Structure 1
Amino acid sequence: MNTLTGTISAIDSDGSLCLVDIEVAGQRTMSALVVETPGRCPWLHQGNKVEVLFKETEVSIARNLSGDISLRNRLPATVAAVRSEGMLAEISLDFAGQQIDSIITSRSARRMELQVGDRVEWLVKANEISLSG
């Protein structure tokens, strides 16, 4: 499980859904879509510190991505390690000094020719992120 620490910078609520913006790694913003309301969740308030959690299998990797995309979380990183065994590859990324791991197919890793030191972007959908206060 990937874990980052951040500070809630904004909350948009609609019924029992909240779109929460979190500042991580020195002013980078991530967004999480959570089924909670600030009234039911004591830590869900602007300015509070939270843990941002997401599975390695939910992290996509892109290189030379251009144009608009619906994913709210699109963040820069550098490939730190590539381990491929069988059908799956584990890609470790350096994101502002913090490790983010991604599990993708070995076929995708080979097609992308991922190498240590490559500059990439990692992406994760807002609904795949969990927050913990």
Structure 2
Amino acid sequence: MNVLKGIISEIQSYEGISLVKVKSNKNSFSSIVLDTPDTADYLSENKTVKIIFKETEVIIAKDLNPSISIQNQILCRIESIKKGVILSQIALSMGEESIQSIITTNACEQLDLKENENVMALIKTNEVSLSADD
């Protein structure tokens, strides 16, 4: 599981759902939360939260400026690649922080991924969870 710390920078709420933007160092993440500032104490601007998403939800793109609907687009550098028979684990550096991605080995080979290469990590907004930073 990828877990980062961030600070809530913006909240839009409507009918019990919130679109929350969180800054983590130089990166910005968006998350859909089934709560609002009225129903969850940790949802307020400038509050520190944990940003959580699965390794299997991190999509890798070699196009560094994709024109797609995924809001969480993080420029990364590949630190290491551990290829397995079916799955490969990609360690990604995004400045001072790092995250992990697990993709199929077939996809890793089709993309011809290499260490120290710059890639875009893509995470759908609904796959990013937030929790209070206790």
Name the TM-score, length of structure 1 as normaliser. 0.96
TM superposition shift of 1:94: 0.4
Higher mean displacement: 100-109 or 62-71: 62-71
| Counterpart mapping for 1:11-22 below 5 A | 11-22=11-22
Counterpart residue number, 2:9: 9
TM superposition shift of 1:97: 2.1
- The one-letter amino acid of 1:32's match is S
| Counterpart mapping for 1:64-103 below 5 A | 64-103=63-102
Counterpart residue number, 2:124: 125
- The one-letter amino acid of 1:62's match is A
In 2, the alpha carbon distance for the partners of 1:109 and 1:10 equals: 35
Instruction: Output one character per residue of 1:4-60: Cα deviation in whole Å (capped at 9) or x when no partner.
Output: 10000000001111000001123x211001101111100100010000000000000
- The one-letter amino acid of 1:36's match is D
Counterpart residue number, 2:51: 52
Q: Is the 8 A contact 2:7 2:46 kept in 1?
A: yes
- Closer/same/farther in 2, CA of residues 96 and 41 from structure 1, 3 Å limit: same
Q: Is the 8 A contact 2:49 2:131 kept in 1?
A: yes
Count of aligned pairs: 132
TM superposition shift of 1:66: 4.1
In 1, the alpha carbon distance for the partners of 2:65 and 2:5 equals: 28
Question: How well do the aligned residues superpose, as a CA RMSD in angstroms?
Answer: 1.0
Name the TM-score, length of structure 2 as normaliser. 0.95
Percent sequence identity is 34
